[in-house]
């Protein structure tokens, strides 16, 4: 049952049950390895909440 998810801040793969924090953004749930990563996400969810592949690798500022 190793259904891992990716921490969008640091890229670390974690299990949801091991996550230090989670956050919902635009209908999706993100999991974080630490409260520090969670804080970073909450400050700027649009920067981290959309995986690069959804933008064709284009990084917008
Ligand atoms: Zn992290």
pLDDT digits (tens, 9 = 90+) for 6-19: 999 999 999 999 99
CB 47 within 8 A of CB 37: no
- Interval between CA 26 and ligand 1 midpoint (Å): 20
pLDDT at res. 50: 73
Residue 7 CA to ligand 1 center (angstroms) comes to 5
**CA 50 to ligand 1 center in whole angstroms:** 16
CA of 58 to the centre of ligand 1 (A): 22
Ligand 1 mean position to 30 CA, how many Å? 11
Closest CA to 32 of 12, 52, 55: 12
pLDDT digits (tens, 9 = 90+) for 16-58: 999 999 999 989 999 999 999 999 999 999 898 876 555 554 5
CA pair distance 2, 9, nearest whole angstrom: 20
Q: Would you state the pLDDT for residue 29?
A: 94
Catalogue the E-assigned strands of 1-61: 5-6, 13-14, 21-25, 28-32
Global confidence as pTM: 0.76
């Amino acid at each position: 049952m190793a259904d891992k998810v990716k921490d969008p801040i640091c890229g670390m793969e974690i299990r949801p049950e091991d996550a230090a924090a989670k956050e919902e953004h635009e209908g999706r749930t993100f999991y974080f390895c630490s409260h520090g990563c969670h804080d970073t996400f909450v400050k700027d969810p649009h920067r981290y909440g959309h995986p690069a592949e959804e933008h064709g690798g284009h990084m917008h500022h």
